[in-house]
């Protein structure tokens, strides 16, 4: 009986220790998140940018998961002669065993002077490349075989897309100087996995998309 009690007490001690470790980990995570947001807010204030949290934006429909409530920190200011927004975004996916995974992204949006019809340039995966080899190019193809092999253009108006994606922009993509992007209205957008942690990285994060904006026709 004493042995059973000792084993039970040991098990209870392990459970208590795990709970304490979990609480400590959660508290550290919360402190780190507060510090991150404070740093971003202070940078925004020092540079004349706006800072909001949990905003809403139409362009979330162009992000993975299309989560309208997925925005966290949203910062907007003037950079490279244009209005730029840098934001946290997340969405969740569920697996067959009922567990969920949260995916974090950094989103960059450049506001253009004129509205445009929807156009996207996306990197091709292996399945997309296979489909192209089997069925040929779609009407949105640019005619540059290397570009059309590596990228696919999605647009309701192929002629408009080809007018936007000129030789200089194609070359920039082939040299990996610009990211994948989508454009609708005045909002030019890109995103990549991660979370915004160091505000000093904002100019470097925005620079490739600003380059896309410079290469688009007026």
Indicate whether 40 and 9 sit together in one domain.
yes
Indicate whether 97 and 23 sit together in one domain.
no
pLDDT for position 4: 52
pLDDT for position 10: 58
Q: List the Cα angle 116/176/128 in 5-degree steps.
A: 75
| Number of structural domains the chain divides into | 2
Final residue in a domain of this structure, among 47, 68, 83? 47
**What range defines the domain where residue 24 resides?**
1-47
pLDDT for position 43: 97
Indicate whether 41 and 55 sit together in one domain.
no
Indicate whether 43 and 60 sit together in one domain.
no
Residues 6+ apart with CB under 8 A from 92: 65, 67, 100, 101, 102, 103
pLDDT for position 65: 96
pLDDT for position 166: 96
pLDDT digit string (tens) for 85-98? 999 999 999 988 88
Q: List the chain residues with pLDDT less than 70.
A: 1-30, 130, 132-136
Indicate whether 96 and 137 sit together in one domain.
yes
pLDDT for position 11: 60
pLDDT for position 207: 98
Indicate whether 127 and 210 sit together in one domain.
yes
Indicate whether 110 and 181 sit together in one domain.
yes
Indicate whether 40 and 107 sit together in one domain.
no
Instruction: Tell me the pTM.
Output: 0.84
């Amino acid at each position: 009986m004493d042995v059973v009690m000792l084993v039970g007490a040991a098990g209870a001690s392990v459970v208590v220790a795990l709970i304490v470790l979990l609480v400590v980990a959660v508290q550290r995570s919360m402190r780190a998140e507060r510090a991150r947001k404070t740093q971003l807010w202070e940078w925004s204030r020092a540079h004349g940018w706006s800072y909001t949290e949990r905003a809403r934006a139409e362009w979330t429909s162009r992000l993975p998961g299309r989560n309208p409530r997925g925005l966290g920190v949203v910062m907007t200011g003037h950079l490279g002669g244009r209005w730029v927004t840098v934001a946290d975004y997340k969405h969740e996916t569920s697996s067959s065993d009922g567990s969920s995974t949260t995916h974090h992204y950094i989103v960059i949006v450049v506001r253009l002077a004129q509205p445009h019809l929807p156009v996207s340039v996306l990197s091709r995966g292996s399945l997309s490349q296979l489909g192209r080899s089997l069925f040929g190019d779609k009407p949105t193809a640019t005619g540059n075989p290397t570009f059309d092999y590596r990228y696919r253009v999605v647009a309701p108006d192929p002629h408009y897309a080809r007018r936007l994606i000129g030789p200089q922009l194609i070359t920039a993509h082939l040299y990996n100087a610009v990211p994948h992007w989508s454009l609708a209205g005045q909002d030019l957008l890109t995103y990549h996995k991660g979370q915004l942690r160091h505000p000093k990285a904002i100019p470097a994060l925005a620079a490739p998309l600003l380059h896309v904006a410079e290469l688009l026709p007026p």
